[in-house]
Structure 1
Amino acid sequence: MKRVLILFVLFLTFSSFSSEEDGIWKTLLNVGWEYKYSEEFEMDIPFPIFTDEIKAIENKEVKITGFVLPVETEDNSIMLSVYPFSSCFFCGGAGPESVIAVFLKNQREIGEEEITLKGVLKLNDDETGLIYELRDAVEVNSNY
């Protein structure tokens, strides 16, 4: 009986790790694509088709955990991915839906690490930029 109880407690502990942050990635990864002609690029390019579930969290504060990618950007954003750099952003089959541009509320240096952030989710279905943005982001459990 004691073993069953211990296993049950362990199951509850590990199942709690699939928390809201994991759920947000599951939601964001579930985007569709359609090709449209782009005047700017003079070719067909993929545009996102956001599900109702994704649209429902637009402009809402969300909490998300991911890996910071070592990418320099022109707009001072950082890139966060559900996958570590070694298997991310088109490597190994990952797509643009696995990456989010993060605009920190207080600019600071963040290394290549796993991090949890919260901010306002914005969707981008323009021809350029990442399809997801996290605005006014702050690190969870941080002094920043």
Structure 2
Amino acid sequence: MKKLSLIIILLAGFGFGAKAQHDPSDQILSTNWDVIGSVDFKTVKETEMYAIFGNEIKKYANKPFELEGYIVPIKDGMKQTKFMLSTLPINQCFYCGKNGVPIMVQVELKEPIKFTYQTVKIKGTLKLSTANAMDNPPISLVGGKAL
């Protein structure tokens, strides 16, 4: 849980649109990632931050949604069912090595997939959380499967 909290704090602290120096050919760009990146945050106090969801992302809430990205594990292990999905590879993440914080969502799969440094395509139900973003990921794909 501490790793997840760190990820959320970093996401909240730097925002989804953090600028970074990276290999542009590695970054995943898509209309669906643009939808995810449209979320803003409101800081209430040092320990409270809330996602502000615009109409663009709200129209996808609780519906099937597909993303391609890189696995950022939350827990150790070669098989993953719950992880963060990123627009940049793990070796280009701020907290994992170098550069800024990429756009990320939490993924919860029905069946585990093997960790890979290559991109994966995931389809699941898009969930938006209005809870404190310092404690809970504001955006997730649940009940997902790897394509």
**TM class, shorter-chain normalised?**
0.5 to 0.7
| Cα-Cα RMSD | 2.4
- 2:122 aligned partner, one-letter code: L
CA, structure 1 residues 44+106, in 2 after alignment: closer, same or farther (shift >3 Å)?
closer
- 1:104 aligned partner, one-letter code: L
Q: Structure 2-normalised TM-score?
A: 0.66
From 72, 75, 85, the equivalent of 1:72 is: 75
Residue deviations 1:91-122 (CA, integer Å, cap 9, x gap): 63326xx1111111113433333101111000
CA, structure 1 residues 70+103, in 2 after alignment: closer, same or farther (shift >3 Å)?
closer
Contact 1:104/1:135 (CA < 8 Å) preserved in 2?
A: yes
From 112, 115, 118, the equivalent of 1:110 is: 115
Contact 1:104/1:138 (CA < 8 Å) preserved in 2?
A: yes
Contact 1:63/1:119 (CA < 8 Å) preserved in 2?
A: yes
For residues 117 and 62 of structure 1, the distance between their equivalents in structure 2, rounded to whole angstroms, comes to 8
What does residue 23 of structure 2 align with?
none
Paired residues for 1:1-144 under 5 Å: 22-37=30-45, 43-72=46-75, 77-88=82-93, 92-94=99-101, 98-127=103-132, 128-140=135-147
Q: Structure 1-normalised TM-score?
A: 0.67
For residues 128 and 93 of structure 2, the distance between their equivalents in structure 1, rounded to whole angstroms, comes to 20
For residues 57 and 22 of structure 1, the distance between their equivalents in structure 2, rounded to whole angstroms, comes to 15
The sequence identity of aligned pairs, in percent, is: 24
For residues 57 and 89 of structure 1, the distance between their equivalents in structure 2, rounded to whole angstroms, comes to 29
Structure 1 or 2, whichever has the larger Rg, is: 1
Contact 1:81/1:89 (CA < 8 Å) preserved in 2?
A: no
Gapped regions of structure 2 (runs ≥ 5): 1-28
CA, structure 1 residues 80+113, in 2 after alignment: closer, same or farther (shift >3 Å)?
same
For residues 50 and 69 of structure 1, the distance between their equivalents in structure 2, rounded to whole angstroms, comes to 24
Gapped regions of structure 1 (runs ≥ 5): 1-20, 38-42
Normalized per residue, which structure has more helix? 1
- 1:32 aligned partner, one-letter code: D
Question: 1:68 is paired with a residue of what secondary structure?
Answer: strand
